[in-house]
Structure 1
Amino acid sequence: MKSNIILLSFLLCLTTGAISAQAKNAPKSIISTTAIIRKYHDQKELSGMQKGELLELYIERIKVLVKTLPYIALVTKPGVTMADLGIPDDSDHKKILDNQAIGTTTFLDTTVEFQRKMMPYSDKGNLIAAILFYESTLKSLHEFNDL
């Protein structure tokens, strides 16, 4: 029984290693695949929410905008890779994309920390207006490719 558990654990480790090795070679998306909005809201709906819920929506929209806006000249939707755009998938380009992702993560960590400390003091109406503005900006990105 004990040997079966050890064998199963060993096979699980090998499988995990093989899967992670494949993930390193997989093409990376230029825009993070987490840069999506689950649902858009209207003013009436937002007015019925508590300030804590509004703050989470506000932060979510900031994250999506920061993960999307720097790349709109290349792409406006998550999931598109360098290879899809004809950009060489070499080590130099991968390094630049990785460094950009690290910089974005660092910026977002600092920004979210600030938002969580300071935005609870904001006016609820201003928070709602900001969420609606961010959402309209995100909706316009879907129309960007039509220009």
Structure 2
Amino acid sequence: MNTKVVFLSVFLFTAGVVFSQNKNAPRSIISSSASIKKYHGLDELRGMQKGELLELYVERIQVLVKTLPYIALATKPGVTIADLGIPTNNENRKAMESQAEGTSAFLDLTVDFQRRMLPYSDKENLISAILFYENTMKSLHEFNDL
């Protein structure tokens, strides 16, 4: 019985250490979820149902909101303020956390609005917007070459 208690205690301690997060670790400037899985062509989009187009539109808005405000610092997920030589002090960590919270709140409101209003939009306008957003994201890949 004593051995089981010791084993369980060691297991729980090890699991806690393995799964705990380091609060002092620098946060990525651009969220790792800020990427488009697949780009589409005009014919492919025209063959989709409006519901599918709405989901693509919402996904692209989310990626752009998580990326565009930070392009002067980074254009791809994974770059941290430490990578850029910005001090990872308490003030800068709080600024990053506050910005992440603000972005999340903005996206929650925006996505809710889009899910309510976009079903009334014209399918061709949705397709044009998706292509525009995708071209914007593609141009970000070329941004570092400038």
- Per-residue CA distance 1:61-85 (angstroms, 9 max, x = gap): 0000000000011111110001110
Q: Match of 2:110?
A: 111
The alpha-carbon deviation at position 17 of structure 1 amounts to 2.6
RMSD of Structure 2 on Structure 1 (CA): 2.1
- Per-residue CA distance 1:18-47 (angstroms, 9 max, x = gap): 234343232210000110100000100011
SS in 2 for 1:117: helix
Larger CA deviation: 71-80 vs 20-29: 20-29
The alpha-carbon deviation at position 119 of structure 1 amounts to 0.3
The alpha-carbon deviation at position 10 of structure 1 amounts to 5.2
Larger CA deviation: 13-22 vs 122-131: 13-22
Query: CA–CA distance in 2 between the matches of 1:33 and 1:123?
Result: 31
Q: Match of 2:87?
A: 88
Q: 1:50 to 1:82 in 2, by over 3 A?
A: same
Query: CA–CA distance in 1 between the matches of 2:60 and 2:46?
Result: 17
Q: Match of 1:74?
A: 73
**Which aligned segments of 4 or more residues in structure 1 are displaced greater than 6 angstroms?**
2-9
SS in 2 for 1:35: coil
Query: CA–CA distance in 2 between the matches of 1:47 and 1:6?
Result: 62
Q: Match of 2:144?
A: 145
Unaligned 5+ runs, structure 2: none
Identity %: 64
Query: CA–CA distance in 2 between the matches of 1:118 and 1:95?
Result: 34
Asked if 1:21 corresponds to 2:9, the answer is no
Query: CA–CA distance in 2 between the matches of 1:41 and 1:15?
Result: 46
Question: How many correspondences in the alignment?
Answer: 146
SS in 1 for 2:36: coil
SS in 1 for 2:20: helix
TM-score with structure 1 setting the length = 0.90
- Per-residue CA distance 1:71-104 (angstroms, 9 max, x = gap): 0111111100011100001111000000000000
Query: CA–CA distance in 2 between the matches of 1:4 and 1:42?
Result: 63
Q: What pairs up with 1:118-137 in 2 under 5 angstroms?
A: 118-137=117-136
